[in-house]
């Protein structure tokens, strides 16, 4: 008797932690062999206790090197939810971002597709009961005439269905004034049939009439021609489009996307903030209609799941969204565009700790298509790669409407303090705001700190309110008169006097709430809108605030970095940057780049219509080189000076920066684990890298967990990443460090 090869499935298991994550072999039972395919999710027994857990099938084959295999228990999907391309993407993410395969899969798939503890999917497909004729329309009309005198409701139902191919049952009964029993009778007589039709839950968008493509000026046309030629090569490529704020980069996106859609291909456009998505949607819907799908976290779970299904089924060919939209399951990807590519929001802070740009590069290589990075202030590494020929490079020097860039004035706030003005708004900025009010024009004020005051301190003993769970001061919020920790959410009321010595409490530093209060005092009776995470917590309220600002011509908008990029308000002619230097000293090698970008971007919100724009930058260090360069909108000068500094530091783009972060409730244990990891790295990598740490993060304790980090500076390749992974696994499996969380990541933010 010939023994047939054993059918096995290689499965990534959800319960497998990073240090034991690998494809596990499972036996495919005979009854599942015809059904089970790669990309499906299954239930499998795992660990010594054979605990039932989810897994995703990576491959199916014959034979295994293991003699005794556990069987697959059940299928969770009727069809694969992951394509072969997405399976390979998950495997790439595991190696690149130091995560488990299942973590990568959970990032790729929408949350609505996952299962609850009771085995039911979190979101079910939405269907509508439909009715249609089972006989020819002529025959139905004759029957309706013959029964009208004795069954008027049935006749009305037949008449209505004669005019339509199918109708929702609810609407049919409502318009005919008929009861359910009349419809049941027609079904029983086999004159009408009922069926379920799937419908999509979609975000509400105002109806847009399709418009012609925007006309490109000479500079835009030259950039489009070059990018179009790259996109038409049929092979992978990358390009950087650098254009001053208001230069019309979006118009070039529209032409490039139209070109790809006309070739039967698809496109993905990433934006850095949810707040920008509605504006982009209105613009692109007016050109592409229902071809557009939107993916971001402010959608309901059902909306996001259904938009994902529209993309997967090929009903939508243009995806617009934030970071996670890079995983959209588009067919025949033709171009992937990352707008404002320098933004930190493209980096995920939770596992898998991926950067959307790295995922985009992988997808474009596999699809053989163009990756377009675009910004007025590109990330320094991107500009360097363009300068050295790794990326194609295109530049827009002028605004599309031929308007000059805003005139910028730098105000020294030390002089304001000497003159007795201790507020947030300088006398010069107050005068400019009054001019705008008189002219009926709008102003935006930017301060990258929410709340009312940075901290409250005692003038006598120096006491400050500290979070009991984190190593940060509490921020005062005047709206609810509470002190709040922006890391763990702890809050408490303010005392009437210093709880330490009974002295008088002083309010130090300013946040967006205090700026609003100061504006209301300076300009009584004038409405002020505030845009920060506290004011836009309700789903979709950012869109409502922006629309109110535009529609009602509200004179002032105060906000954090939500107002710095991508927004286009034609009546905004004045921008004020408050505390421009607060982010310059963040202890991060990117602090200067981040500050330059934020200032330049928010200044660019001014004068985007037909009226000239102006900007006021308030700072305590007016002579700072970065602030002066941002005031001149001089990216090239900033790039040259910053590149020289990076070279001296051997920082990106001249070397790669990776990190291992450790956290735990016992500081000494975390520190010991950090020294262990560093020793493992030095032993494995040796002199091929520079090491810093273990050193505490800028906020050393968050929610009662101490945090330390080891930085590794080297030229990272697959071999180096594997060695770092091994060091992490060695620490995770060492019983001395039980309770210490350890993970590695690429070029982490300093938080």
pLDDT band at residue 569 using 50, 70 and 90 as cut-offs: confident
Separation of alpha carbons 250 and 396, rounded Å: 12
Q: Is 64 exposed, middle or buried (0-12, 13-18, 19+ CB in 10 A)?
A: middle
Q: What is the pLDDT of residue 424?
A: 87
Give the three-class secondary structure for 26. strand
Average pLDDT over residues 522-539: 77
Report residue 625's pLDDT band, with 50, 70 and 90 as the boundaries.
Answer: very high
Q: DSSP letters of 609-631?
A: SSS--EEEEEES-TT-HHHHHHH
712 or 417: which leads in pLDDT:
712
Interior angle at CA 593, CA 589 and CA 598, nearest 5: 135
3-state secondary structure labels for all residues of 526-561: CCEEEECCCCCCCCCHHHHHHHHHHHCCCCEEEECH
By C-alpha distance, which of 270, 271, 268, 292 is closest to 282?
Answer: 292
Average pLDDT over residues 396-413: 86
- For residue 680, the model assigns a pLDDT of 95
DSSP class of 230: H
How much of the chain exceeds pLDDT 90, in percent?
54
pLDDT for 258: 96
Closest CA to 730 of 689, 682, 688: 682
For residue 325, the 8-state DSSP code is G
568 or 323: which leads in pLDDT: 323
Exposed/middle/buried for 673, CB within 10 Å: 0-12, 13-18, 19+? buried
> Per-residue pLDDT averaged across 324-337, rounded?
95
Cis peptide before 225 (omega within 30 of 0): no
Burial (CB < 10 A; 0-12, 13-18, 19+), residue 422, is exposed
Query: Of 289, 293, 279, 281, which Cα lies nearest the Cα of 258?
Result: 289
Write down the pLDDT at residue 751.
Answer: 63
Report the distance separating Cα 295 and Cα 284, nearest Å.
Answer: 14
pLDDT band at 539 (very low <50, low <70, confident <90, very high): very low
Measured torsion, CA atoms of residues 168, 173, 174, 176, in degrees rounded to the nearest 10: 120
pTM for the model stands at: 0.88
Write down the pLDDT at residue 665: 96
Q: Which domains does the chain have, with CATH numbers?
A: 7-109 (3.40.1440.60), 127-198 (no CATH), 218-396 (3.40.50.300), 407-452+510-646 (3.40.50.300), 455-509 (no CATH), 656-746 (3.30.70.600)
Label residue 267 by pLDDT band (50, 70, 90): very high
User: What pLDDT does 535 receive?
Assistant: 65
Predicted confidence (pLDDT) at residue 218 exceeds the cutoff of 50: yes
Q: For 670-687, how does the pLDDT look when each residue is reduced to its tens digit (9 = 90+)?
A: 999 999 999 999 999 988
Residues in a beta bridge with 746: 658
Q: Which residues contact 506 (CB under 8 A, 6 or more apart)?
A: 456, 457, 458, 459
CA contacts within 13 A on the Cβ side of 352: 30
Over residues 509-525, the pLDDT tens digits come to 777 888 888 899 999 98
pLDDT, residue 560, reads: 85
Exposed / middle / buried, residue 174 (Cβ in 10 Å: 0-12, 13-18, 19+): exposed
Q: How far apart are CA 693 and CA 683, in angstroms?
A: 15
Residue 1 has what pLDDT? 34
Task: Give yes or no for residue 540 having a pLDDT over 70.
Answer: no
User: According to the model, what pLDDT value does residue 177 have?
Assistant: 86
- Distance between first and last Cα of the chain: 65
At residue 93, does pLDDT exceed 60?
yes
Residue 58's pLDDT band (boundaries 50, 70, 90)?
very high
Measured CA distances, 548 to 291, 445, 539, 542, 545 (Å): 28, 17, 16, 10, 5
Give mean pLDDT, residues 443-471. Answer: 83
pLDDT of residue 5: 66
Q: What is the pLDDT of residue 536?
A: 63
pLDDT tens-digit readout, 181-197: 999 999 898 898 998 88
- In this prediction, residue 668 carries a pLDDT of 96
Residue 285 preceded by cis peptide, ω within 30: no
Statement: residue 364 has pLDDT above 80 = yes
Helices (H), 269-379: 277-288, 301-312, 356-367
As a whole number, mean pLDDT of residues 121-149 equals 86
Average pLDDT (148-172) is 88
Using the predicted structure, report yes or no on whether residue 2 has a pLDDT greater than 70. no
Q: Can you give the pLDDT at residue 729?
A: 95
Q: What is the pLDDT of residue 80?
A: 94
Rounded distance, CA 426 to CA 417, Å?
9
Query: Under 8 Å CB-to-CB from 141, ≥6 apart: which residues?
Result: 158, 159, 162
pLDDT at 387: 95
Residue 458 has pLDDT above 70, yes or no: yes
Buried residues in 296-306 as b, exposed as e (16+ CB within 10 A): bebbebbbbbb
Q: Which of 209-218, 348-357, 403-412, 537-546 has the highest mean pLDDT?
A: 348-357
Give pLDDT tens digits for 303-320.
888 889 899 989 999 999
Across the range 472-483, mean pLDDT stands at 83
Instruction: Look over the chain and give the mean of its residue pLDDT values, rounded to a whole number.
Output: 89
- Lowest average pLDDT, out of 46-50, 66-70, 104-108, 452-456, goes to 452-456
Contacts 24+ apart (CB under 8 A), 378-382: 378/240, 378/242, 378/341, 378/342, 379/341, 379/342, 379/593, 380/593, 380/639, 380/642, 380/643, 380/646, 380/652, 380/653, 381/652, 381/653, 382/240, 382/341, 382/342
Three-state SS sequence of 421-484: CCCCCCHHHHHHHHHHHHHCCEEEEECCCCCCECEEEECCCCCECECCCCCCECEEECCCCEEE
Rounded Cα gap, residues 355 and 747, in angstroms: 10
Buried b (16+ CB within 10 A) or exposed e, 607-634: bbbeeebbbbbbbebbebebbbbbbebe
Q: How far apart are CA 737 and CA 121, in angstroms?
A: 37
Question: Given this model, what pLDDT does residue 433 score?
Answer: 95
Mean pLDDT of 53-62: 92
pLDDT for 3 equals 46
**Mean pLDDT in residue range 373-395:** 96
Residue-wise pLDDT for 571-588, tens only, equals: 999 999 998 888 887 778
Return d(Cα 515, Cα 453) in angstroms, integer.
10
Average pLDDT over residues 210-232: 92
Per-residue pLDDT reduced to its tens digit, 608-617: 888 889 999 9
Calculate mean pLDDT across residues 446-462: 77
Closest by CA position to 137, among listed 156, 165, 169: 165
């Amino acid at each position: 008797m010939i023994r047939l090869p054993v059918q096995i499935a290689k499965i990534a298991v959800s319960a497998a932690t990073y240090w034991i994550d690998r494809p596990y072999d499972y036996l495919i039972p005979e009854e599942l062999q015809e059904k089970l395919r790669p990309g499906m999710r299954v239930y499998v027994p795992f660990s010594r206790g054979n605990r039932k857990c989810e897994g995703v099938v990576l491959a199916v084959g014959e034979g295994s090197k293991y003699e005794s295999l556990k069987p697959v228990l059940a299928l969770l999907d009727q069809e694969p939810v992951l394509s072969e391309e997405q399976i390979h993407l998950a495997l790439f993410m595991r190696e690149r971002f130091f995560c488990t395969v299942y973590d990568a899969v959970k990032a790729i798939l929408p949350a609505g597709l996952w299962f609850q503890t009771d085995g039911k999917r979190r979101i079910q497909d939405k269907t509508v009961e439909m009715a249609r004729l089972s006989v020819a329309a002529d025959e139905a009309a004759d029957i309706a005439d013959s029964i009208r005198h004795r069954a008027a409701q049935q006749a009305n139902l037949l008449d209505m269905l004669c005019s339509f191919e199918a109708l929702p049952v609810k609407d049919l009964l409502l318009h005919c004034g008929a009861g359910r029993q009349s419809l049941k009778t027609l079904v029983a007589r086999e004159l009408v049939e009922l069926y379920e039709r799937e419908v999509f839950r979609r975000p509400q968008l105002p109806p847009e009439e399709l418009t012609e493509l925007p006309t490109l000026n000479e500079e835009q046309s030259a950039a489009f021609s070059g990018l179009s030629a790259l996109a038409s090569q049929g092979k992978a490529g990358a390009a950087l489009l650098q254009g001053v704020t208001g230069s019309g980069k979006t118009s070039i996106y529209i032409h490039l996307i139209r070109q790809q859609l006309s070739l039967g291909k698809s496109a993905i456009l990433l934006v850095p903030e949810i707040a920008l998505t509605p504006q982009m949607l209105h613009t692109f819907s007016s050109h592409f209609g229902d071809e557009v799908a939107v993916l971001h976290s402010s959608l309901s779970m059902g909306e996001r799941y259904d938009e994902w299904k529209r993309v997967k089924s090929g009903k939508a060919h243009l995806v617009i969204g934030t970071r996670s939209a890079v995983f959209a399951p588009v067919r025949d990807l033709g171009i992937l565009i990352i707008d404002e590519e320098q933004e930190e929001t493209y980096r995920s802070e939770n596992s898998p700790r991926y950067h959307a740009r790295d995922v985009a590069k992988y997808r474009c290589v596999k699809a053989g298509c163009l990756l377009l990075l675009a910004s007025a202030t590109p990330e320094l590494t991107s500009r360097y790669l363009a300068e050295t020929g790794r990326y194609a490079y295109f530049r827009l020097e002028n605004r599309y409407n031929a308007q000059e860039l805003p005139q910028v004035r730098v105000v020294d706030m030390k002089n304001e303090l000497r003159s007795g003005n201790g507020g947030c708004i300088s006398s010069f900025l107050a005068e400019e705001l009054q001019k705008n009010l008189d002219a009926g024009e709008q102003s935006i004020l930017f301060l990258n700190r929410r709340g009312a005051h940075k901290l409250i301190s005692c003038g006598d003993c120096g006491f400050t309110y500290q979070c009991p769970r984190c190593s940060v001061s509490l921020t005062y919020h005047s709206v609810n008169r509470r002190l709040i920790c922006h890391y763990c959410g702890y809050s408490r009321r303010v005392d009437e006097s210093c709880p330490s010595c009974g002295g008088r409490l002083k309010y130090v530093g300013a946040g967006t709430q205090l700026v609003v209060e100061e504006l209301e005092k300076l300009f009584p009776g004038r409405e002020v809108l505030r845009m920060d995470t506290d004011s836009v917590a309700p789903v979709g309220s950012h869109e409502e605030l922006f629309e109110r600002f535009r529609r009602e011509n509200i004179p002032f908008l105060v906000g954090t970095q939500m107002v710095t990029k991508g927004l286009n308000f034609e009546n905004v002619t004045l921008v004020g940057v408050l505390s421009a230097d607060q982010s310059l000293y963040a202890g991060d090698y990117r602090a200067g780049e981040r500050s330059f970008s934020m200032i330049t971007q928010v200044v660019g919100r001014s004068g985007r219509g037909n009226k000239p724009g102006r900007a006021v930058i308030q700072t305590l260090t007016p002579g700072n080189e970065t602030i002066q360069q941002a005031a001149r909108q001089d990216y090239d000068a900033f790039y040259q000076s910053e590149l020289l500094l990076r070279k001296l530091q051997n920082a990106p783009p001249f070397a790669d920066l990776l990190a291992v972060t450790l956290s735990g409730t016992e500081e000494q244990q975390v520190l010991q684990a950090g020294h262990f990891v560093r020793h493992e790295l030095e032993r494995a990598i040796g002199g091929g890298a520079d090491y810093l740490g273990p050193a505490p993060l800028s906020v050393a304790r968050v929610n009662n967990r101490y945090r330390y980090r080891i930085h590794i500076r080297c030229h990272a390749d697959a071999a180096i990443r594997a060695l770092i992974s091994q060091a992490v696994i060695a620490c995770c499996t060492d019983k001395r460090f039980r309770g210490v969380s350890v993970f590695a990541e690429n070029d982490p933010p300093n938080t």
